[in-house]
Amino acid sequence: MEWRTVALTVLVVSLCFLAIPIRVEPDTNNEDVKLFQNYVTRYNKSYKNNPTEYEEKFKRFQRSLRHIEKMNDLRSSQESAYYGVTQYSDMTENEFLAQALVPDLPVRGEKHVNAPYHRLHHSQKSTNRVKRSAGIPSRFDWRDKGVVTAVRSQGSCGACWAFSTVEVIETMYALKNGTLKMDQAFGVRIKSFACDSFVDAEDELLTTVATHGPVAAAVNALSWQNYLGGVIQYNCDGAFESLNHAVQIVGYDQTADIPHYIIKNSWGTNFGDKGYMYIGIGSNLCGIANQVSSLDVL
């Protein structure tokens, strides 16, 4: 055997015993295909018989899967928000914004900032504010009082502001008259209403919810596309300019490991926790304290 052949043989055999780390990326495509097939069936997507659109939606679905993995990696506890496939997971972020949210909500909101019914709550705590905040329950949920209507779905309609407002009217009517009737909402006379900013004053927001009733709040819901449950703590910009959705705050829980607001959404009972969501208290997460509306009925 020639020396070159011997040398080559030794080299090959030696390599078999050497621990040479080779990074091989997992092939997720097959698993993604199965997940997407189940997804299309589960949500009865209209493009299931359109090969071109099906392929494009699959690519968007894959992007959502990778984003879901990234978001779940940020969880700090079992109570933190967790993410997965929802009815919106086959959309790009821009599509989600256009179809489920209200991109021009900040423009609409600016019209109310200088109105006489708009009130700005300051961060400096007065003695009365401390007493009021300290005097409210550490946990409060208006659903326990039987005055919150069932979760609705706005569908592709972008009238989230109308849903949240009507829901507040329904509850305030029930508190005033002792009956919860959804068909009464459009015959109710409004006594007064206010639009408040509780940025840096969320203790006042908690007091309002506990002592007055549920409120409607403008929020930034762009990061909610794949939300399944738990308390949102991160990656939810609170800037006024980022507001794009409206929800109802029906309660809060300061006894939880992650103190949070209880949010009633309008994307149906299949979204989130049977239609509800939870947002951490204290950092104006998702812009929850920027623009909050309350009202009284006759």
Q: Residues with catalytic annotation?
A: 245, 265
69 contacts 81 by C-beta, under 8 angstroms: no
Angle made by CA atoms 268, 88, 235, in degrees to the nearest 5: 100
195 contacts 117 by C-beta, under 8 angstroms: yes
Name the residue among 29, 164, 170 with its Cα closest to residue 102: 164
Residues facing 251 on adjacent strands: 141, 262
Alpha-carbon dihedral angle through residues 141, 143, 145, 147, given to the nearest 10 degrees = 130
Alpha-carbon dihedral angle through residues 93, 78, 250, 100, given to the nearest 10 degrees = 10
Residues facing 276 on adjacent strands: 264, 273
CA distances from 142 to 85, 213, 241 (A): 29, 8, 30
